[in-house]
């Protein structure tokens, strides 16, 4: 997937709109890449899933910063706007035919294994890349500080993933995440030093 300049432009747009969302998207892209590699997917598919992870929240560039960073509970109207960010993301990506392969990943990254997500897809009906991104997205969101929540520690995040296996998350991906987590932590600690 050769779209580096276009991806950089979109990520810059997201960074200028919300540094928190930008940092989260970078984390999700890295985790999604590790999971895709852990599954042994072909490099092209790993690249697509990685870019999908980087751009999964690009639709939040159309959500007012006052809503994105609101420390209090969102109103029903604000929540409805926030809930539309996958749709906004697909609209942003649809302007470039190179991004067509990313649209289902962005559209369905809030689907749940049990079918209780935004659009009601469940199990293997959810594209694999979207399932990978959903897991990476949730784990990073749980373990990162946000305006509206304190972060969970690593153990709490792991326990939440374990309890969500087969409900919110593809259970095979949760097990893979646990299997590769030591190597992810080692890689991230090398980056930080």
For 53-90, write each residue's pLDDT tens digit: 999 999 999 999 999 998 889 999 999 999 999 999 99
Catalytic residues: 60
User: Where is average pLDDT lowest: 79-83, 85-89, 94-98, 179-183?
Assistant: 179-183
Q: Report the distance separating Cα 132 and Cα 49, nearest Å.
A: 8
Q: Which of 12, 1, 185, 187 lies closest to 105, judged by CA?
A: 1
Q: What is the pLDDT of residue 72?
A: 87
Structure confidence at residue 186 as a pLDDT band (50, 70, 90): low
CB-CB contact of 36 with 133 (8 Å): no
**pLDDT of 28 over the 80 cut:** yes
**pLDDT of 184 over the 80 cut:** no
- Tokens linked to 41: 């997917």
**How much is the pTM?**
0.91
């Amino acid at each position: 997937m050769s779209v580096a300049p276009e991806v950089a432009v979109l990520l810059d747009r997201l960074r200028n709109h919300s540094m928190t969302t930008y940092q989260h998207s970078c984390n999700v892209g890295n985790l999604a890449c590790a999971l895709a590699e852990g599954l042994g997917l072909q490099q092209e598919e790993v690249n697509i899933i990685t870019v999908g992870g980087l751009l999964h929240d690009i639709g939040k560039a159309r959500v007012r910063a006052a809503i994105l960073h609101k420390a209090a509970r969102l109103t029903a109207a604000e929540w409805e706007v926030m809930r539309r960010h996958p749709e906004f993301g697909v609209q942003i990506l649809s302007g470039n035919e190179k991004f067509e392969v990313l649209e289902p990943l962005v559209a369905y990254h809030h689907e749940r294994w049990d079918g209780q997500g935004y659009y009601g897809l469940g199990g293997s009906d959810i594209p694999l890349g979207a399932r990978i991104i959903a897991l990476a997205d949730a784990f990073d969101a749980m373990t990162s500080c946000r305006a509206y929540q304190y972060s969970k520690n690593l153990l709490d995040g792991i326990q939440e993933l374990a309890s969500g296996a087969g409900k919110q998350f593809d259970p095979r991906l949760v097990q893979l995440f646990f299997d590769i987590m030591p190597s992810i932590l080692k890689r991230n600690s090398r980056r930080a030093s």
